[in-house]
Structure 1
Amino acid sequence: MTFSASWMNPNNITNRLVGWVARLPARVQTKLLIAFLSIVGLLIVLGAVGLQVLSGVNDQTNELIKLQRRIAAYRQVQHDTTNQLYSISTALLLQDDRMLDAALRQLNQFGYDLDRMEFVAESEVQVLGQVRQEYDQFTADVTQVVELFRAGRTEEARTVQQAEIMPSADRLERLTNQLVNTAEADMVAAIETTEGAYGTSRLIVVSFAVGSILLALGLGYIISWSLIEPVKKIETRLRQIAAGDFAQQVAVANRDELGVLAGNVNQTSEQLGRLYQEVQARTAELARSVDELEALGEVSKAVNSTLDLDTVLQTIVAKAVQLSDTDAGTIYVFSSTRQQFRPRATYGMSDELIAAISDQAIGLNDPGIGDAARRRAPVQVPDLSEGTPSPAQKIVLDAGYRSVLVVPLLRPNKLVGALVVRRRKSGEFDQQIVHLLETFAAQSVLAIQNAKLFREIEEKGRELEAASRHKSQFLANMSHELRTPLNSVLGFTELLVDGIYGELPDRAKTTVARVQANGRHLLGLINDVLDL
């Protein structure tokens, strides 16, 4: 009952027909051409039915015309029979030979006319035959009466007239009346049949016309909705794609151009969706790259703007933890003297954890930091709970961290330290994060190297300051202890040579002159030293 009701539902039938037309494996042009040809076929059928109806009406009309002609012929027979009977009666009454001869000729001629009648129905052949027999008998009786009258046998002629001719005339009159009545009855029946056939034909034509119109409208509706519905779905899907929804699929049952178009829309949607993933991934990657560049810029700025190593390392470890999406980090500095690593900067760690880690002696044999230092490559532990952790790793594991990534801080021929980040969830670290932390490790090495160079510069500065102080003292000593006494010596020798203290012997003058020359040479050497 439910099935019948659902099947007889006009909406269900329409939807089934629309779906069936949509699933036809034909082009839209072919479907439209089929619909057009179907409508043309319906018009042709309607025209054929109309022609058939018109042909039937024409046949009925011809039949009515024939009946009308039969009635007219029978009435003519009835009229001629009445006239002839009247003429025979008059001629017999008057016993005029000429009138009798004329009446006999008319009877004979009328017999021939009866033989040539065309419009005779099968049901009337017998009656017409009876009329012909009665005419023959009537003609024979009239001929006998005429001969009796001519022979002077008047009484006998009247007896024959009374006994034979008058009953025969009555029978002829009844038979002709029967012919006319039968034809008229056939005419009435034919008229009724024609009216019924016309009504039936009109009903058939109207039914075919209405059916053709309804079928044409149905075909137009079904085909149009088999095209409109997919177009609406495709349009809706295109709007969704324009709005950025690439996850949906347009479901079209058509196996024509619209089905191909829907498939292309779905394929385009998939391609656009894939490109949009890719675009989002690239956008996220670019955003991450921008963040990394900004972080590296801040680190570079910190490295170049301050010589405070703790501040620079603190900035580096903070940015490293933030960009690697980890939970905590530490920068260790390696002491070549003690062959141990000690924490220098931390981020995201409690004071208790920092103190506990600082108390641990971490050397080159440590399974985490030591391995990275020996291999001179990053080392990661995806899950600290697996295996036997070192004392330092045990502390970190107890603090809730599950995975660790260690990147060594390296110079070409020297180990500087290690950059360590920790995560509370287990799992492998992405290779991009490893490369990023290697960059931060290089910045850390640069910062530590800059700090070391600054310390060396400070030490050299202090040494230069001491050297400058010694130089000043040397210059003062040279000037005060050597040049001043030498100028005094040269002054006194010049006084001696000038004879201020009296004339000197020649040998003494020569000696004093030599002393004066050597003193001036020594003064020139002292001045040269002071100039340098």
Structure 2
Amino acid sequence: MTESVGIDRSPLDAVGEVLRSINRSTFELSTVLQTVIDNAVQICHADQGNIVRQDGDVYRVTAHAGTVAPEYLEMVMSREYRPERGSVIGRTVLEREIVHLPDVLADAEYTLGNVQAAAGYRTILGVPMLRDDVVIGVLVLWRLEVKPFSDDEIRLISTFAEQAALAIGLAGILGDTREALERESAVSQVLATLARSTFDLDAVLQTVIDSAARLTGADDGLLRAEDRDFQVMAFTPGISESFREAERRREFKPGRGSVMGRALLEARPVQIDDVLADPDYSFVDAQQVAGFRTVLGIPLQSEGSLIGVLGLWRTRVAPFSDAEIAVLQTFADQAALAISNVRLFETVQRQRTELARFAPQVAGLLTTPEGESLLAGHRREITALFCDLRGFTAFAEIAEPEDLFSVLRQYHGTVGELAVANGGMVEHFAGDGLMVFFNDPTPMPDHPLAALRTAIAIRERFHDLAAAWRKRGYELGLGMGLAVGFATLGRIGFEGRYDYAGVGVVINLASRLSSAAAADEVLINQKLYAMVEDEVEAEPVEALELKGFSHAVTAYRVTGLKS
């Protein structure tokens, strides 16, 4: 779900704490909502927050987190909010969308000056709590300084709002009926599993389908969700292995021939009172194996997309009641939320893994408060090191693919290992070209010297590689160019394939110096030489005419370190 969240503990731990609160409180709604707002404020580094619930035509604050003056708390607790643009709460209800004001004092439509003056907030965020497309409440967080919430924080806050909305919905559905205790126990078991499992998706979905069948008196059922890159299924214990195998092979798509296909097609709960009396029903083989007569399919939705179906059946003609369907919709919502959370977590982990291939410090940005702004893009002075092989083009023309990749793996492994060990960030590999920069994302006071030490170490290590390749008939050399200057750096790419990159003249200059360097030569620009001249042995070279530069470039050849 990943994109960085600046937090001190796992978002999944916080969601788990909310779920455990639901379980412990036996659905005492005030306790659940207080747990939600406490965790939301803490994990998203807000200063304070409120949960506002619908009360007829108005909205009132029902839970607050953060230290405030008693007078302020009394004022907001007694205040009625209506759909209008003068407040974040009213605007969120009116628009039924997330409202994010980076600075309320800069918002011309904001009219609650007395409330703002009493609380002192500057950045404020409102997230609607929706149930059946109706705003039943608003989760509000704010900061006392101008510090907008990141996209990942907003997504996480939306998860807390969903949990609060589900809790309110469950409280309304279960009510005080005679069946409430049994239903409450079943829902608590699902929520407890969510909390205990640390998002073991198989365990969560198995508990959902087992509890749904037991609670409604269904004979059997299954839960199936899939997308381009994942597929999960859970079956009640009574389903035969042959039926399970047939279901795994069956194409999962919208259509009127089955209840699950019909639920996907209509994007709503679908019940067939008697499949034998339904002219469109064509899932005959399965019906003969399982013997079901009444079937029910409830779609699982995540962020507006259909991702699966919760299906239940009875082997007699006995339609599910509206109350049972309402509770089962809650189970489907919990399953969809669990799937979404796991997929978000896996996305963040995948991005961390991808970024860690280039530099561990970049992967670490995903879990630091300043990481989001750094990944979004920033400007900083860096030392860029570019190196590429001499003789590689001729070698590539005659070498077998296996030999080519063997050479590249040894070369990349050697350079990458030395670069990371010296605090460098491997920006990219491009065939025999390799770019490293220093002083970002982790600041390094001595980044020019660190880059030069890396270059000297690479050159020395390369001698051993070149000698081994020479024995195999490969004549390869290494040229390197280094330059210091300012660049813009940040994350580029798309979902599932992110890189961390830099853009600027300094990077182009390092690349051109590398191209101009002879085998075993290290060239640096004049600014870099001025910063390290007391530490290195170097000599000037004739002014270089480099592609992309209108004037000749002054450069120096580094022969070694003085100490």
Quickly name the TM-score band, shorter chain normalised: 0.3 to 0.5
Query: Under a length normalisation based on structure 2, what TM-score does the superposition of the two structures give?
Result: 0.34
Which of the two has greater strand per residue?
Answer: 2
Query: Under a length normalisation based on structure 1, what TM-score does the superposition of the two structures give?
Result: 0.36
Which of the two has greater helix per residue?
Answer: 1
